[in-house]
Chain A
Amino acid sequence: MTRRFLHRLAQILPTALGALVIVFVLLRIVPGDPAAAMLGVSATPESVQALRAQLGLDRPLWRQFLDYAGGLIRLDLGTSLAFRVPVAQLLAQALGPTLLLALGGTVVSVLIGVPTGVVAALNRGKPVDQLVSVLALVGVSLPVFVWGVVLLVLFTLHWRILPASGLGEGIGGTLKALVLPSLATGMFLAGLVSRITRSSVLGVLGQDYVRTAWAKGLEPMHVFRRHVLRNALIPVVTVVGLNMGTLLGGVVVVEGIFARPGLGRLLLDAIYARDYPLIQGIVLVSVLMTILLNQLVDLLYTLLDPRVTA
């Protein structure tokens, strides 16, 4: 078990490191200067120089990278240039809301996508099937910001039942504040999941072993749950895993619309301020999230499909 874990780690590390190096180097050759950003319109050449020195930006590139890499091992991601607090602190602050939203979006996509896909598959060719397919296609094609803005206005102003912004207080409040953003974020993936579920269920339904089970006289519902659903869900898991990156992209936009202080907002601020350590930190975190989520998907395979050896 540990060996498997270490093996996974060995797979993740080079990827993560590669991503980090790329981001680090590219950010250094960028136009724009964090010191100038922080001083704003009150900057003068001397003050910018002074600030650069204070922030350690005048040291050679390799030196800066070594310091940064060294810090990483200690889980020290450096200090934010714009906010003068540890990057790890800002990331930790922002991670919660973003993870919640990513989770919410995924849950929404599965809750909407799987049942609709199943219904469509079981009613193949009938109007229900066509309706679901159209809706799924619309879900996949409609940009996330339209969903977000429409939901915002409909549910917070027209029918004032949900909060328009912020994170909410208490468990109930947090959940209430999660509903609309999750719906907006998850729509795209819901459409995908619906389509994949449909074709996957159809595929499995045509399999020999399913027919055999039916022929043997097993209860249809039982057959369905044990055989059909389980196997049909495998590509769904794949698709969800593959599209985590896109989901995170949607989260960035939705966080802005619903004023949730998560990684999306943090990234925009960091880019604006040329806050190198912070940008690196965010990219690193999102890369790690994507990688870990993919590993999670792999793990789910082993649960769902006994033929797969982890």
Chain B
Amino acid sequence: MGRRGFAGGWETSAVRRLRRAIRGSWILWIASGFVILLGAVAFLAPYLRLTDPFAQSLKRLAPPSPEHPFGTDRLGRDVFSRTVWATRYALAVGIGTVGVGGMVGTLWGMAAGFSGPFVQEALSRLVDVFLSFPPLILAMVVVTLIGNGVFPVVVALSFGVAPRFARVARAVVLAVRVQGYVEAARALGASSPRILVRHILPNTLDALIVLATLTVPTAILTEALLSFLGIGIVEPTPTWGNIASMGQMVLREAPWVVFAPSLVLLLTVLSFNLLGDAVRDALDPTVSRGVWMRRVERAELEPEPARIASRRIPAG
């Protein structure tokens, strides 16, 4: 059931495994359902009959009631409505970051993998440089440079995400390059783009998909920290982070302002993490992937894969 060199085979087997996994576990079932629900809510938010998330009133810090399911905040705004609207920004940042950072990182890593030693070294050093910045601090500085808003935040977080994708992409390309069949294909006269598309790309995708699904929750969490600090997506635009931030001071008087968005944030990140785990297990190397995937996982986990002879690190 391996797919070395065959671009068509892996999808069906992996997806089948994924579906089986979800159907088998009720937790995963709920998690996927929640993620789908979030997506729907984010998309449909303007059409749901919600209270205006920006409407202020003198009913400050009102406790939860039928009229205000999550109560009101310090400016008398409906916390439930704001929490729902915040979903859009959370998902936008989560997916946008993976999209932008993932694409840039993959291209970067593949370029490194394909290049001669000098360029490869330079690009890899660049990866190291960016990886040495603590992600939140890097994001804070970048957002300060570019300004506030969704797009700047996506860019800022991508700075931290791209190098990780680059690393994985590079390792995969390197690993695959030494596989026999690539040489064979070349010997048979296959051109570089053809090798790229038919052999390298499918192998890379697995690792990158795993990384991508696990990066979404990280991006959402980091954005929450940023907006909690008042950086990035700022008031009055609602994000779970900044709703909680405003409620911090009145935690004892009105705990719902902090806990409602935090709970939703928790459930979101939790669901994505669970799904990410399932995806990783579905694409798990020890089942059918083979040696090269192991090397990729090692590359992901270790700073210098070449140095360590033959260690098997269990997936997990």
Contact = CB atoms under 8 A, between A and B. Distances in A.
B129 A18 contact: yes
A239 B262 CA distance: 26
Interface stretch (B8-16, B62-70, B99-107, B308-316): B308-316
Interface stretch (A36-44, A78-86, A213-221, A290-298): A290-298
B98 interface: no
Contacts of A143: 221, 224-225, 228, 241, 262, 265-266, 269
B251 interface: yes
B276 to A, nearest CB: 11
A253 B229 CA distance: 7
Interface in B191-232: 217, 221-222, 224-225, 228-229
Contacts of A166: none
Contacts of B303: 241, 294, 297-298
A305 B311 contact: yes
A235 interface: yes
Given A18-B125, A153-B252, A253-B228, A141 B273 contact: yes
B6 interface: no
Chain A contact-residue range equals 35 or more
A283 B273 contact: no
Contact of B128 (A15, A26, A140): A15
Given A15-B128, A307-B309, A246 B134 contact: yes
B248 interface: yes
Contacts of A204: 314
Contacts of B160: 245
A153 B311 CA distance: 46
A307 B308 contact: yes
B314 A23 contact: no
B137 interface: yes
B288 interface: no
Name the interface size band of chain B. 35 or more
Contacts of B312: 203
A303 interface: no
Interface string B264-275: 011001100110
Interface stretch (A51-59, A68-76, A144-152): A144-152
A64 B259 CA distance: 48
B313 to A, nearest CB: 6
B132 to A, nearest CB: 5
Interface stretch (A105-113, A175-183, A193-201, A222-230): A193-201
A18 B126 CA distance: 8
B231 to A, nearest CB: 8
Contacts of B147: 31
Contacts of B49: none
Contacts of B315: 199
A308 B132 contact: no
Interface stretch (B51-59, B79-87, B138-146, B177-185): B138-146
B225 A144 contact: yes
A30 B146 CA distance: 8
Contacts of A9: none
B302 interface: yes
Given A137-B270, A290-B132, 8 more contacts: A15-B129, A143-B228, A144-B225, A146-B244, A146-B259, A246-B134, A252-B137, A252-B140
